[in-house]
Structures are given as structure tokens and as C-alpha cells.
Chains A and B, each alone.
Chain A
Amino acid sequence: MNFEMITPRTTGELLQALANNQGSRVRIGAGYTDLILELKGLKCEETPLVINLADLTDPKFTHIEKTDAGIRLGALVTAGKVIIDASIQTELPVLCKAASELGSRQLRHRATLGGNLCTASPAGDIAAALVALEARCEILSADGTLRTLALTDFLVGVRKTALRQDEVLQSVFIPTRKSINKHLLSDFLKVGTRRSMEIAVVSLAYQFELDAEEIIRHAGIAIGSVAPTVKFVSAAGEFLVGKKFSSIGAVAADKFAAMVCAEATPISDIRASAWYRREVLYNISRGIFDK
């Protein structure tokens, strides 16, 4: 493993590094839980160049910021920090759960939210939770301009994002939904074999907002490892809106599960068969209402 590295300390230096270094050999590094493996396996003619974000101190990249409009998480926020943040625990519990299922304790202290999104794995744990939360990506360009993009548009394919070569992910923003007396119901269900250090074979992230009468007012649902990207399952979510959670019976649960599965296009690989993924996605979707 051989690579060059630039370590910008300010956003200005970062923008300059982005402007000066573009091309297939450039990688952006933050927590390195994935990038080290990638660099080890690379068989390229050119020596890779890593723009290392680890020393960046700009709070826009490193902080979790809560405003009336919503919660903004810097791309360098680690999974470990997500788990212990009080506002995320109360307002975005699905994200908290997903972050706690990622890798192992050691990895969670290193792995960043930005890294999990930019790796664009269809199995990304944090990605699934953020898609369910309809997060928006805030992308900084070498010329200093900022653009925003829905996370579902950011994730374009297996290990492919909408980032241009002169761009870097700065933060994600989750807008606050205005509702009264809301009560959240959420979970991140990760199916794999081991209890840690596992990549999801199937995952399901959901966060429902219920009103005082237990009526589902909003349902954000995302599925992982069953399509080229993490997918937002809008139809199944809309199906739930207006229904009283506790009165969703077997028939509606089956219909819901079928609607979730309709969005899945799983493949067979060394971890599981397509049949298995579809079967399990159905079972765990349905299982939401068993409680």
C-alpha cells in the first residue's frame, strides 16, 4: 500500500486541494475504515492521492447543530458521536440505532457519517437511516459554492455518488417536521449473521410520527442491501399515513410488506441469495406490526 497524502487544516486549504487535485487517483479520507481496505486492494498504475480530512476543524464539518429548522450533522461526525448525542437520541432515534449497529465499537469511533454516505454502499447502515429521514446533502465545491441535494439523489449507484470531482460532502441536514404532540416510533433492523463486524444482508430503517391518537402522520422507510442503492420506500410509507398504528392488522401488514418488497430488486451474492433477501425483507417489514 503506497499513497500520497495532503492534509488541509482549514476549509480554504481544502478547497484549494480540491481545485488542484482531480482525477481518478484522488480519494478523500476521513475515518479510513473503508478507504484503507480500498487502498490495499487497488491495482492502479498511478499512486493514489488522499486528501485527508482528519485534521479539519471547521465546525461545519465536525459539529452536530440543532436549530428550529432541523438538525445538521457535519460529514466528519463519527458514528460514536451520533450515538451519544442527546438531540439525535430524542429526535432521530432511527439514526442513533443505525449508528450503534455499525461495525464494532472500535470502528464506530473512527467511521464518519460522510464516509458512510460517500462510500455509497447499498448496505450502508447510516445511509439507510438518513434516507428514511429524508436527509439532504450539503455539498461544497472547490469554488466555494454550496449546493444541496436530496440524499436519494446523492446515492446514484453501487459505490457511486453524485459528487463531482471538485466537490466534497460538508454536511447533511434533516429538516424538522412541524407537528404537534408527535410521538416517534422507529427502528433499524439489520439482518446479518454475526452480531458485530457485519455488513447488512438486508436492512430496514423506519421512523414513524404518530399523533396523540396513535394515527401515523408520517412514515419514512428505507431499505438496504436489496437494490443497487439504499432506497426510500415512499408508497409503503404513504399507505400507512392516516392509519392508527395499533389497529394495523394482519391483512394491512401483509399489504405493507408486499409494498416494501415491490421496491426491492435483490441479487444473489456470497452473503445471501436474492430469494433470502426478499423473504426476510417481507418478514421484517411485516414484523413491525407484531409488537
Chain B
Amino acid sequence: MSKQVNLSVGIQDNLREITVEIPDEAPRPWDGTDKLKYIGGRVSRVDGQEKTTGRAKFSSDIQLPGMLYARFLRSPQPAAVVKSIDISKAESAPGVKAILLVQEKLPMIVRFVGQEILAVAAETRQQADDALKLIEVVYRERPFVTKTDEARRADSPVVFEQAVEEKKSEGDLPGAAATAGQNGNVRGPQIRPKGGAPDKVDAALAGSDAVVEATYRTQVQTHSAMETHGVVAQWQDLNHLTVWASTQGTFTVRDELAEVFEMPKSQIRVLTKHMGGGFGAKFGAGIYGVMAAKLARQANAPVRLMLDRKEEHLCVGNRPDSTQKLKVGANSDGKLTALKLLAYGTAGVGTGAGVSGPARNIYEIEHIYSEESDVFTNAGPGAAFRAPGHPQGAFALEQAIDELAYKLKIDPLAFRKTNTSKNEIRQVQYKLAAAKANWAKRNSRPAADSGPIKRGMGVANSVWYYFYGTGFQASIQVNSDGSVEPTNGVQDIGGGITTIIAMVVAEELGLKPTDIRVTIGDSDLGFGPASGGSQTTAGITPAVRDAAYRARMRMFDIAAPLLGVSAEQLRADEGRIFAKEDKNKSLTWKQVASKMPGDKFTIVGERFKDHIQTKPRTIAGVQVAEVEVDTETGVVRVERVVAVHDCGRPLDRLTLESQINGGIIQGISYALFEDRILDRNTGIMVNANLEQYKIAGSLDVPKIESVILDVNHGQSSTGAIGIGEPATVPTAAAIANAVFHATGARVRELPMTPDRVLSALEYKEGGTS
């Protein structure tokens, strides 16, 4: 059964009426006319105090009686065959309880420095580390390659002899796993024409009034979440396994373990009460999770296996590098004509180095042609990383667009406006960004400052996509003492979903967010989303609201006879249930709860497909960066970033701003500092720590001003859309454009280190540019 509701939807206050068909049991979606108490406001994290006082227990804090510590023996060779392994001395070393090989039968092929060979569990971590030193492994070394360009050559050592099947995770983009050919180390190309074969695109470019052609390079970035990957695994009995995991997906970890151990899913429980960050590399159980569970079974004791910082850099994921040859054309009327992108990159022994998302999804271009390849190298596997492919793609695209604008003597922001004319959200965003950043006062001439310190302002667009899953089940239990307990298996990776759930329930029930006791992070609870693709909030909140709505209806049914009115006449607010027409007819929430039959009731809400399809399906954002470049040292300081983003209907502006801040800070870090460096002679990462692998510190964080649009689509009961990934997409590009505006020099390679910036300045002064 369904009903029709009228909704006011649109951007900010620019609303229009639509009619939407929704299930009978569902609440009317929040729309642009709803004046809500908490939703859309600024609510502090409900678990903030727990975290700041150190009481919050992360997976890495879990201590169990009799728990063993496990450590990996990892390959020191970038490419080799393991001929033999002698563990006899280690087996009898003090405290050692179990040793297990990752691959039981030898020979075993290793393809990167850090690849797991075996794991040891011992009573202390020191004992495990000491035991590893007693293990003798005989390697037959093989030729290897670590540089992407060298790996592409026909005479390069081959990383894989056989074709590689792409492994997919929740963080990957749909379509990323499409099959592609493999030749030597090159897998691909994946060809995605949009509006024309290559010859058509070439012809359009040739006929354009202005063309920009350049090659852009981006580096490998490691995820470097504060909490490393890892688990504590405990067998309750032979058939029941409990795992505390630092994960972005309690259910995805459970499912992988169920598959590996051939167990029913219901016999595996994955817990993630608090989580120290994840950017796309923490979805599966991982070798560490599987080995920890195996060791725990073997030793008949709980096993903790948390990776250290070095392992984190080497083995569990990174943002692939990229080389992008990009050609973009436009006519003197300011309209883009055609775009051609030839790109490749290495995800080490992994796949997924594609970067064409921004090139294909931001601008209105008639002819687009893209070719992308993965290049295998002897390095740790890449993994989905906060907007996979997009910061890379935006770095190239948004600089090319900028260059083209200067070439045509059109303001870079106006040029973007012209070429995204059909996207109403972008049009509003440009206006807001320009006002906030004071774009009008910006000198249109690059390198206008005199003196060694030069200031500049640059703009770049973001793009991401609206993803959400279905089938999630949120429960709400209302107890006869009036307490309300929503539960779901979803994990809070720091985005703040715990707080959001409390807000949604409080809003619906007329209570306060602090009244709501949220329990999440447990795969024994209702099915919840993995936190990838920026879909946690969009995925779970409609189910939460639907459950809360029906819990309210149930409470109204209990209250109605007590107040002598019909349930339809009741409202809930400020902890009371009362008659709309006669506020004297009123009971507290607790009084009503005390009258429920039995002790409690539970209602399950489910995430169904959206009521309507949102348009556009991309998520828009734009950032303006202001920089200061010291032309004597090449040091770039980001002074200010203005960020205007769309995320559908904003639920909690405070946690949203945190997400945007985080995305921008990570973007600055990517733009200026982070770089995984492998020694090409040994295949060893030379900066596998946080001393030499540099991440932006608090003093490098600029003034960040974010503007979050209110966009109501009416697509679901909460209207939420993601933000976690979009916020990091354009930052590096905006900084690069600001560096150009400050100095007149284009830095087409990341990170923009002082060395590279000074070289770019020199190159420019040499007049060869």
C-alpha cells in the first residue's frame, strides 16, 4: 500500500512542489519547508566526551585474559621465490604458542617488500618479535621493478605471469572491476569514449580555438589512518568466532571470515565500538584478520594482531600514482569542445589506478575519450582511498581547465560556470564561493605581487556520486522506563554516524539527542552499510527514521486512549506527547512508556530504494584556495580554503564541517607533503614511518571556511547524501591553481615540494614555458 505526498524540494530556498509516492508505513520525507529542531543544526558528538577523555575503547585497546600477540614475518625481497622456511628454533623460543605459514605449500612467490610469509603468536609482543629473528627463510631472488615507467617497457621484469583478477571492495567505484586485457605489466587500457571515437575527438580538438596539452603526475599516498589495521580474534568455541576489528565494515569483515573459514555468517561476530579512521583500505578481514583467527584457533587463546606503522605503509593499501596526458580544447566563446585523457598508474601488485572520473563527469563536453591502464610493479597493493582516482584526476583536469581559461583570457571561475551551465547546484555554489572568497578582488593577472613572497588564489571543482545501499535494518527499542535504544551493526569510523542516529531518532520522537542510547558497531545487530563511497548516512538514516516514526505511532496508539483523543491528533515534542488542538491533554514520554503492555517493544525499519531518482546523480563541490609562495625557497603555505559542498539535506552541520575539514587537510597533505618513496635498487620503502613520510601537522592547517548547501531532493525520508569523499577531491588542484596564480609557474607534479616549486619557477624564468 502506498500514499502520495507533496514535497517542496530544491536548492536552498529556491523550492518547487513535487508529488512523491511513498509506502503507507513510511514517514513523509523531510523537505525544504520542514523546520526541524536538531536536524540541520549543530549537534556535538554524543561520544565526544568518551573520546576526549580516553575512555572510548578502540580495537587496539582490547585486552583479553590470556591474549597472545601476533606478528608477521614479511619478505625483505621485492620479488623472490621462497624455497624453504625453517621455524624449528622459533617454535621452541620463549612464549611462542603458534606459528602459521600464510601459504602452507612451498614454493611461494613474493612480489613486494613486506609481503606476509608467516605469523607468530607469543605471550608478549617482544617474544613474538624475538621469535621472528630465529626464523630462516631461503629466498631465490627474482628480477623486479618498482618504477611505473620502467614497468611499462617490453623488457621489464614481469610482476605477474598470469592474468590478474581484480579484487573489489566496498570502497571501489562501480565499473572499476571491468575486465581488461593484460600485456606484460600493463593491464588495460580501459577505453571509455563519451561522444566519440578517438578520431572524432582528435578532429574536434584540431578544430578548437585553443588547446591545452600537458602531462600531469601524482604520487603514491598511503592511507595512514591514526589507528592501524588489525584485529583481536577470539574463538568462543570451535564454531563461534568473535573479532574486534579496526574496520569500515563490520559485515564485510564477517562475510570474508565466513567464506575463508567456511562457517555460517551467524557464527561470526565482528565488533567495532570505536574506530581510529579509515579511508577505504579497511573493508575486508585482511590477511591479518584471517591469520589472527587461525593462530587463535591453533593456540586455543585470543590473539591480537595489530599492524605497526611500517606495515601500514608497506602492505595494506595506498592511493596509486598516475601519469596523465591530458588534452582539452575550447572555442573563443568559452565553450569546451573536446577532451582526451591517456592515463596510467601503478597500484603495485593491486589494481584500480583509473583517474578519469572528473574528466568524464564535471563539464559539458561533447567529445570525451579516455584510456586508462594499471601498471603492475613490485610494491604493496593499492586500495580504495577517499574518492578513488578523483584527487588525481582533478589535479590534472582542473589545472588544464585553468590553463585553458587563462589562454582564452576568461576568468577561471566564469569559464567553469559556462561549462557546467546545466548543473543548477554548481551555479549556486560558484556564486557562494566567489562571495566568500572575495574572488572579485582577485588580481586577474598571475604573479602580480612584487617581493619574494607571492600570494595567489585558485579554484577547482569536485565531483562525486550519490551511492546508497538497501536492505539495512535499524531497530528501535522503547523501554517501559521511557528510554530509547536504536541499534544497528554499522560502525562509526569517525564520521559521526552515532550522533546522526541519535539526532534522527530524537527529532522524530520529540526527545533530545542525549536521551538516545545508540548501540552500533556489532555484526550481530541489524544489517548496516559499510562506510565506503560516502554512503553511511544516506544508507542507514532512512531506516532509522522509518523505525523511529513507527515507534512514535506505536506510542501515540498507547497515549490516545489515555488522553481521550485519536492517535492522528497527537504530537510529540520536548519529551511530551500531547494533543495538537489542546495542549492540556498531555503526558510525558515516560508516562506513556510506562503504560505499554509488557516491558518493551522493538520496531525494525528498513532501507528501501529511494522514492525518486535524484538529479543530477553527481555530487557537486567547489573549493577556492589561497596560498603564499616563498619564491626564494619554493615553500608553499596554504593560508585559506573556502569550500562549498553539496550533500543533499545536511543532518549535522558540525560533523559535516569536520568531514570537510578532514578532507581538505588530507588534500593539503597530498598536495604538499605525502609521498611514498621506494628505493629502485632494493624495492624498499625509504620513508616507512611518520617522520619522513610527511603528513600535514596542525600548524599547516589553514583557515577553512565551509559553506554547506541545503539541497532537498525528497528522495528518502532523511534526504541525506554523502560528503566524506567529495571534500578531498579538488583541494590539491585548487592549491596548484593558486600557486600558478601567485607565481605564473605551473607545477604539474605532486607533491608540490619546495624543490619542485623552485624548479618550476626557474623553468618559467628561463622562458622555455
Asked if A194 and B694 sit within 8 Å, CB to CB, the answer is yes
Is B699 in contact with A283, judged by CB distance below 8 angstroms? no
Stretch from B111-119, B471-479, B627-635 at the A interface: B627-635
- Contact A270-B754, Cβ < 8 Å, known A194-B696, A283-B633: no
Q: Is A85 an interface residue (CB 8 A)?
A: no
Is B34 interfacial (CB-CB < 8 Å)? no
User: What count of chain B residues pass the 8 Å CB interface test?
Assistant: 27
Query: Given that A193-B754, A273-B755, A287-B452 are known contacts, is A37 also in contact with B673, CB under 8 Å in the complex?
Result: no
A191 to B758, CA, bound (A): 13
Complex Cα gap A45–B491 (Å): 44
Taking a contact as CB atoms closer than 8 A, the residue among B130, B687, B754 that contacts A272 in the complex is B754
Interface string of B664-700 (1 = CB under 8 A from A): 0000000011000100000000110001101011111
Residues of B with C-beta under 8 A to A176: none
Q: Name the interface residues of A252-291: CB closer than 8 Å to any CB of B.
A: 270-273, 276, 279-280, 283-284, 287, 290
Least CB distance from B395 to A in Å reads 18
Q: Is the CB of B699 within 8 A of A196?
A: yes
Residues of B within 8 A of A199 (CB): 691
**For residue A282, which residue of chain B has the nearest CB?**
B632
Cα A194 to Cα B753 with chains together (Å): 10
Partner of B697, one of A2, A196, A279, A284: A196
Which residues of the other chain, A, contact B126 by a CB distance below 8 angstroms? Answer: 1-2
| Partner of A287 from B632, B753, B755, B762 at Cβ < 8 Å | B632
With A191-B635, A194-B694, A287-B452 as known contacts, state yes or no: A2 contacts B699, CB within 8 Å. Answer: no
Cβ-defined contact, A270 with B677, below 8 A: yes
Chain B neighbourhood of A194, CB < 8 A? 673, 694, 696-697, 699-700
Taking the closest CB of chain A, its distance from the CB of B571, in whole angstroms, is 53
Count A-B contacts at CB 8 Å: 65
For A2, A196, A280, the residue with the greatest tally of chain B CB atoms inside 10 Å of its CB is A280
A201 touches B700 (CB 8 A): no
Query: B687 and A191: CB pair below 8 A?
Result: no
Q: Is A179 an interface residue (CB 8 A)?
A: no
Hey, which chain A residues are within 8 Å of B130, CB to CB?
2
User: Residues of B contacting A104 with CB < 8 Å?
Assistant: 697
**Min CB distance, B560 to chain A, in Å?**
61
- Is A195 in the interface zone, CB < 8 Å from B? yes
- Indicate if the CB atoms of A193 and B699 lie closer than 8 Å: no
| Binary contact track A1-14/B, C-beta < 8 Å → 1, others 0 | 11000000000000
Are the CB atoms of B758 and A195 closer together than 8 Å? no
Whether B692 pairs with A270 at a CB distance below 8 angstroms is: yes
- How long is the Cα–Cα vector from A197 to B669 in the complex, in angstroms? 14
Q: Which A residues touch B672, using CB under 8 A?
A: 193
What B residues does A273 contact at CB under 8 A? 755
Q: A41 — nearest CB in chain B belongs to which residue?
A: B689
Q: Which residues on B sit within 8 Å (CB–CB) of A287?
A: 452, 632
Contact B677 A276 (CB under 8 A): no
CB-CB under 8 A for A280 and B633, given A193-B754, A195-B699: yes
Residues of A within 8 A of B753 (CB): 193, 272
Partner of A284, one of B633, B637, B758: B633
**Is the beta-carbon distance between B698 and A196 smaller than 8 angstroms?**
yes
Nearest CB in chain B to that of A195: its residue: B699
Task: Determine the residue in chain B with the shortest Cβ distance to A283.
Answer: B632
Residues in A neighbouring B699, C-beta threshold 8 A: 194-196
Question: How far is it, in angstroms, between the C-alpha of A273 and the C-alpha of B759 when the chains are bound?
Answer: 10
**Considering residues B672, B673, B699, which has the most beta carbons from chain A within 10 angstroms of its beta carbon?**
B699
Which residues of B sit under 8 angstroms from A198, Cβ to Cβ?
694
CB of A256 to closest CB in B, whole Å: 15
Residues of chain A lying within 8 A (CB to CB) of residue B452: 283, 287, 290
In the bound complex, CA of A2 to CA of B699 (Å): 34
Q: How far is the CB of A188 from chain B (nearest CB, A)?
A: 14
Chain B residue, CB-CB nearest to A1: B126
Complex interface: chain B residues within 8 A of A201 (CB):
754
Take A194-B673, A284-B632 as given contacts and tell me if A270 and B686 are in contact as well, using a CB distance cutoff of 8 Å.
Answer: yes
Q: Is B754 a contact of A280 with CB atoms below 8 Å? A: yes
- Which residues of A line the B interface, CB within 8 A? 1-2, 37, 104, 191-199, 201-202, 270-273, 276, 279-280, 283-284, 287, 290
8 A-B residue pairings within 8 Å (CB atoms): A191-B633, A194-B697, A196-B697, A202-B633, A276-B634, A280-B633, A280-B758, A287-B452
Given A280-B632, A280-B633: 4 more A-B contacts, CB < 8 Å: A193-B672, A196-B698, A273-B755, A276-B758
**The 8 A-B residue pairs with the shortest CB-CB distance in the complex, in nearest-first order:** A195-B699, A283-B632, A276-B755, A196-B699, A196-B697, A272-B755, A191-B633, A280-B633
